[in-house]
């Protein structure tokens, strides 16, 4: 499947690029949740957290940390959401690792996902399964 972010990295299609270094690029999301919504991507074409190596993730997060306050200040926001979808079931549409930096001015701009409760004992069971999966 076409990796549209590689096309942006290679300047094959236009984008409002705000930052670039040896390993990463940041550009405005074409369909912003709020004005200033920025995507940070590695130049290396990894799909998501499941195939990304530590170095690629570290470089990408360094750029997220650099870009987040600039995005916040540029649009006069008070905070940002840093969101990242991994896998189609989580809403990932573009299979090139990316972090969304979304300016927030106040809580009315977003709704948190529903919070649920564990039946008795289920949290401990799931926690144990995660520990076992970690090996
Ligand atoms: P996700 O994969 O996390 O669901 O979201 C992918 C994001 O990439 C979306 O917010 C979408 O608006 C953005 N996007 C998709 N295609 C393009 C494009 O060609 N240019 C830019 N700047 N953003 C894009």
CATH number at 61 reads 3.30.428.10
Nearest-angstrom CA–CA distance, 1 and 3: 6
pLDDT above 90 for 81? yes
> Is 76's C-beta closer than 6 angstroms to any atom of ligand 1?
no
pLDDT above 90 for 132? yes
- HSE of 126 in the Cβ direction (CA atoms, 13 Å)? 6
Burial class of residue 123 (count of CB atoms within 10 Å of its CB; 0-12, 13-18, 19+): exposed
The pLDDT of residue 9: 98
The pLDDT of residue 112: 86
Q: How many domains does the chain divide into?
A: 1
Which residue, judged by its Cα, is nearest atom 4 of ligand 1? 92
Question: 81 and 100 in contact (C-beta within 8 Å)?
Answer: yes
Instruction: Place 1 in a pLDDT band, splitting at 50, 70 and 90.
Output: low
Q: Tell me whether residue 88 is in a domain.
A: yes
- pTM of the prediction? 0.96
> What region, left, alpha or beta, does residue 92 occupy, with left being phi > 0 and alpha being psi -120 to 50 degrees?
beta
Task: Name the residue of 4, 15, 82, 83 whose CB sits within 8 Å of the most ligand 1 atoms, as the mutation to test its pocket.
Answer: 4
Instruction: Please state the atom number of ligand 1 nearest to the C-alpha of residue 93.
Output: 2
Q: Tell me whether residue 135 is in a domain.
A: no
pLDDT above 70 for 5? yes
Q: Tell me whether residue 50 is in a domain.
A: yes
pLDDT above 80 for 130? yes
Instruction: Place 2 in a pLDDT band, splitting at 50, 70 and 90.
Output: confident
Question: 18 and 39 in contact (C-beta within 8 Å)?
Answer: no
* pLDDT tens-place string over residues 17-74: 999 999 999 999 999 999 999 999 999 999 999 999 999 999 999 999 999 999 999 9
Q: List the domain range (segments joined by +) for residue 38.
A: 4-107
Q: Tell me whether residue 98 is in a domain.
A: yes
Q: Tell me whether residue 120 is in a domain.
A: no
């Amino acid at each position: 499947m076409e990796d549209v972010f590689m096309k942006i990295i290679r300047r094959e299609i236009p984008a409002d690029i705000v930052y670039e270094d040896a390993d990463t690029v940041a550009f405005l999301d074409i369909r912003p949740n709020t004005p200033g919504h920025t995507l940070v991507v590695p130049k290396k074409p990894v799909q998501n957290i499941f195939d990304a190596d530590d170095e690629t993730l570290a470089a990408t997060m360094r750029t997220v940390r650099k870009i987040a306050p600039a995005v916040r200040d540029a649009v006069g926001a008070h905070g940002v959401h840093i969101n990242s979808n991994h896998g189609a079931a989580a809403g990932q549409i573009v299979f090139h690792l990316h972090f969304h930096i979304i300016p927030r001015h106040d809580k009315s701009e977003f709704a948190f996902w529903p919070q649920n409760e564990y039946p008795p004992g289920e949290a401990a069971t799931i926690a144990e399964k995660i520990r076992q999966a970690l090996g």
